[in-house]
Amino acid sequence: MLPLDKDLVFFDLEATGLNIITDRIVQIALIKLRADGGPNEELEMKIKPDVAISAEASEVHGLYEKDLVDAPSFKEVAQQLYDFIGQSDLGGYNSNRYDVPMLQEEFYRAGLYLDTSARRLIDAQIIFYRMEPRTLAAALKFYAKKEMTNAHDALADVRATVDVFEGQLGAYAGAEFAEEGKETIHPFADMDAVAAFCADDRFLDATRRLKRGPDGTPQFNFGKYSGQNVADVFSKDAHYLKWILSKDFSTEVKALVKAIDDARRG
């Protein structure tokens, strides 16, 4: 560990969703690394938000509104959190893009200003991505022990991709994979398993304009009806389908919404 000349607070947030402006914190955990060499200090608390928790967020962090009925509001604990942070530097994982700005917004609403101009912001995700690049050249070196030549030439790139895939099959043969709350799978057992591992079944189209709702039904993932059932929207606003079909959406999206509307009409 580098010697600290200033306290460093690592923290993580769980929230009602991913929008740093409109969503709210439902849980916060902080660990203060002390510059004086003293023991780390920890603080964790659940927070009752003043907006609804999205179903997608609850599926990720496991917190529902019923779990937070007796929790304090952010305004009630803002000063305690603010004092815990003090003048410390701040750190986290993807914290520069998400946790720090969301926490700032919550403090603003509580009448406090979390100034970052004099703080060092440490983001472990940025360090990870920059030190372990997620490029084709880096993958080729890691999995196939080869150096990339003629990068961005289509044939050279696809040859490199084949080498990477073959290296992955060798590296992960027999490997197991388990996400929290889900059963263990063998993602490289066969090609069906590999394809399933690569798939993101949260979305219905490649441009991610349509998503699966909590009950599996198609929902919009954009615009004024974001999060609402596609068929229900068309039932109350028939012009919205015509608008989508006339605008610059992908052929896949247009075919899907047309099929959903046809099924709705029976």
Residue 165: closest CA among 188, 199, 148: 188
Inter-CA distances, 239 with 212, 229, 248, 261, Å? 22, 15, 16, 12
Q: Are strands 121-123 and 89-92 parallel, antiparallel or unpaired?
A: parallel
Task: Tell me which H or E stretch contains 137.
Answer: helix 136-139
254 phi, psi to nearest 5 deg: -65, -40
Question: Which residue has better confidence, 179 or 84?
Answer: 84
pLDDT digits (tens, 9 = 90+) for 143-182: 999 999 987 888 989 999 999 999 999 999 999 998 877 8
Tell me how far apart the 2 most distant CA atoms of the chain are, in Å.
Answer: 71
Is residue 1 predicted with pLDDT exceeding 70? Answer: no
Measured between alpha carbons, how far is 146 from 138 in angstroms, rounded to an integer?
9
pLDDT digits (tens, 9 = 90+) for 180-236: 778 899 999 998 999 889 888 889 998 999 999 999 999 999 999 999 999 999 999
The CB density around residue 103, as the number of other CB atoms within 10 Å, is: 25
- The set of residues, in sequence order, having a beta carbon less than 8 Å from that of 29 and lying 6+ positions away, is 11, 12, 42, 43, 44
233: buried, middle or exposed (CB in 10 Å: 19+, 13-18, 0-12)?
A: buried
Reported as a pLDDT band with limits 50, 70 and 90, residue 14 is very high
Is residue 3 predicted with pLDDT exceeding 90? Answer: no
Mean pLDDT of the chain: 93
The single-letter code of the amino acid at 75 is K
| Domains with residue ranges and CATH for the chain | 8-128 (3.30.420.10), 136-198 (no CATH), 210-265 (no CATH)
Measured between alpha carbons, how far is 106 from 77 in angstroms, rounded to an integer?
11
Residue 107: closest CA among 88, 81, 86, 87: 81
Interhelix angle for 251-265 vs 238-246, to 10°?
A: 160
> What pLDDT does residue 130 have?
85
